[in-house]
Amino acid sequence: MKAIAVKSFKAMPELIEVAAPQPNQNEVLVHLSVAGMNPFDWKVAEGMLDGQVPATFPLVLGFDGAGTVKAVGAAAKRFKVGDQVFGQFWQVPLGRGTYAEFCAVSEDAPIAKKPSSLNMAAAAALPTAGMAALDLLEKSGLKSGDTVLIVGATGGVGQFLTQLASQKGVQVIATGAPKDVTTLKELGAKIVADFTRGDICPQVAQQFPAGIEGLLDLVSDAAGFARCAGLVHQGGVALTTNYAADEKALAKSKIRGGNFMLAANSALVERLGEGAAKGNLKIAIEKQVPFSEAIQAIATAKTGHARGKTVIMI
């Protein structure tokens, strides 16, 4: 089968032919229609988890996908042949990813049946970013009436997070450029802090001199996160998906939170699918790229500045 893979950590991704996987006892084999791209995909390929999580090579990239079950292992009971499924195809050892025509994965992975009204591209764009947004918001403990600053609101996680937070009654300050204002306000943001004007902290501090209840930061480095955390008053919460928090410093300032790790599970995937199918969650797909252009799409995505999700049509 065709797959996008690296032959070693830090190697350039290649479109190559590899043997199609076969499902083990508790696995399902999925014929993928679409793969969803996430920054975590190429960070893994560059060796982010080298020495921490086992991997096999060539390492096929990708964790998010949507497709049709083609075979099931003898002990697998959750799905049957012909089911359309989507989710995060996480498995160890790393290497059997979703940038491929087929993927075999444990039936206990964070995957679920795809709602019939949700198309494959939207389903593939949803899992990791959607789960991160939902889990992040729930772990923050933010409630209706609170104010939160979302740094990185224009990306995949940020757009889902803006929607979910505003639907909960949380006042969202979203970072964005002037061209993003309309989109972010349509997603529920009350205020857009213009990062093209430089450091957004003075903008927020001017409007909220007494501080805000929360910071959910998806992009900043350690210095940037620390500056933004300074906007949060005592008893508030500051979380980063970028592992940029000095948790001891936060605790000293009496701020909850720190470095966020997604607790992915199939229940989260099902909730997201149901919400999207009902129209409660908009899925912004910035690009749909054919398999033949996936390598260039990865290079482009690494530059940042996403305005939604990129998906690979397989």
All domains in the chain, ordered by first residue = 2-126+283-313 (3.90.180.10), 129-259 (3.40.50.720)
Q: What is the pTM of this model?
A: 0.93
Question: How is the chain classified by DSSP, letter by letter?
Answer: -EEEEESSTTPPPEEEE-PPP---TTEEEEEEEEEE--HHHHHHHTTTTTTTS-B-SSEE--SEEEEEEEEE-TT--S--TT-EEEEE---SSBT--SSBSEEEEETTSSEEEPPTTS-HHHHHHSHHHHHHHHHHHHHHT--TT-EEEEETTTSHHHHHHHHHHHHTTPEEEEEE-GGGHHHHHHTT-SEEEEGGGS-SHHHHHHH-TT-EEEEEESS--HHHHHHHHTTEEEEEEEEESSS---HHHHHHTT-EEEE------HHHHHHHHHHHHTTSS---EEEEEEGGGHHHHHHHHTT---SSEEEEE-
In terms of DSSP bridges, do strands 2-6 and 14-17 run parallel, antiparallel, or are they unpaired?
antiparallel
Query: Can you give the pLDDT of all 314 residues of the chain as single tens digits?
Result: 999 999 999 999 999 999 999 999 999 999 999 999 998 999 999 999 999 999 999 999 999 999 999 999 999 999 999 999 999 999 999 999 999 999 999 999 999 999 999 999 999 999 999 999 999 999 999 999 999 999 999 988 999 999 999 999 999 999 999 999 999 999 999 999 999 999 999 999 999 999 999 999 999 999 999 999 999 999 999 999 999 999 999 999 999 999 999 999 999 999 999 999 999 999 989 999 999 999 999 998 888 766 778 999 99
